[in-house]
Amino acid sequence: MLSYWVQPKDFPALGWIPMVVSPIDSRYKTEMNALFEEGAKLASWLEVEVALANAHAKLKNIPSQAAEEISQAAQKVELARVEEIEAEIHHDLMAMVRALSEKCEKYGGFVHFGATSYDIEDTATALTLKRAIGIIRKRLLATRALLKRHAIERKNLVCIARTHGQHAVPTTYGMKFALWFSEMGRHMERLDQAEQMISVGKMSGAAGTMATFRGKGSKIQSLVMQELGIKAAQVTNQVVQRDRHAQALFTLALIAATLEKIAKEIRNLQRTEIMEISEPFGSKQVGSSTMPQKRNPHKSERVCSLARLVRANVAVALENIPLEHERDLSNSANERFIFTQGFIVTDYMLLEMNKILEGLQFYPENIARNLELTGGAVMAERIMIALTEKGMGRQQAHELMRNCAMESFSSKKKMLDVLSSNKDVLKFIKKGELALLFDPKSYIGESIKIVEQAVGKD
């Protein structure tokens, strides 16, 4: 990858600074970047070329000394030389082939023997994406561990559930985290499926017929993939079919969507008027350039923003599936973006979410306050069930509680006070018994059991 340096004319004190165009090379850079840098791509190409030479040697298509020389020469190829050749011939893969051949003293003519460009490129891409999925899996395991910890620690922390943005019935924070933990578990399964689907290479020539390998194509392909630790595609044309790559990117999009779900919930629960939980906020952190009091959930907002980018890549990946005839080049340019961007950004999002979860702050007093915000109206369902159990028809009980809730809202009276003066209610439930039904902590159903079953007992 070429490096560029600029010196701002109006700000000479800045001196010469590197020009970075994409934020994934700076702001959102992770260890994932190393897999997609130009040097790493070249190394993967060379890895496949060496495996191809070794396969030919095993089948006695080329001398064993040729494979040894090609393997040694691959260690000496320099990225700068490949880029120099590419600038002349305008073909990146062939530039690598020529650079590798140059490093061979005697057997350079056997480099890339019988192969076409995408035998090398697609097989190398499989290696890269398999390794990238390994990093994502590592991050996901860390995310699940944090979600499990919160689920167990908060399984008794009662809070108000919200549906349609309105207070519904009591639930627990353990339920929230158990839900996310379970969803991330499904993503682990999807990652395994995506890895299996993408860990496939080819060595089948220009149209997938293996004609250049003179009857030994299947054996060569099998030997190459065996050495590289991936599977051989059953049938290809000039490329490995792009439904495989689309599935990998769709899996990333699903992970990103769940991360956004979590981040969005944290953002909403951090609203000033709610403030039940918040992402960590450093002692020297600045929330706004003009409003010193602000504690903006910028990490969660960043996760939500980047999720849109990851999802958008799926549409491009789907467009790459219907290539013309045995292939065209319309997938090539955009894949330089969507693979790199998709994996790096997802990796960054997971790292960011793990930081949020690690330092997540809870405000029990606000959680308790919000439980009582409706004056007990959120217990209407429980009273309705109790009335039904006492002999009132379910629909009659529902209408009665609906009217009582309307009265509580308009009169600003507590729900218990409204019900305590309602003759229809008192026919079935005594005042003393009625008061006991307004404890939200005793109306969380089987939530503790659900959490323990979902995440496993501590």
> pLDDT truncated to tens, each residue of the chain (458 aa)?
445 666 677 777 667 666 677 888 889 999 999 999 999 999 999 999 999 999 999 999 999 999 999 999 999 999 999 999 999 999 999 999 999 999 999 999 999 999 999 999 999 999 999 999 999 999 999 999 999 999 999 999 999 999 999 999 999 999 999 999 999 999 999 999 999 999 999 999 999 999 999 999 999 999 999 999 999 999 999 999 999 999 999 999 999 999 999 999 999 999 999 999 999 877 677 776 677 777 788 999 999 999 999 999 999 999 999 999 999 999 999 999 999 999 999 999 999 999 999 999 999 999 999 999 999 999 999 999 999 999 999 999 999 999 999 999 999 999 999 999 999 999 999 998 999 999 999 999 999 999 999 998 64
Tell me the pTM.
Answer: 0.92
Active-site residue set: 164, 288
Distance from C-alpha of 310 to C-alpha of 253, rounded to nearest angstrom: 6
Domain locations in the chain as residue ranges: 36-110, 117-277+298-360, 377-437
What pLDDT is stored for residue 18 in this prediction? Answer: 67
> What CATH number should be reported for the domain whose range is 377-437?
1.10.40.30
- Which pLDDT tens digit goes with each residue over 369-383? 999 999 999 999 999
Measured CA to CA in angstroms, residue 445 lies from 93, 154, 158 at distances of: 62, 15, 11
Fold adopted by 36-110? Fumarase C; Chain B, domain 1 (1.10.275)
> 117-277+298-360 — its CATH code?
1.20.200.10
Q: Do domains 36-110 and 377-437 have the same CATH topology?
A: no
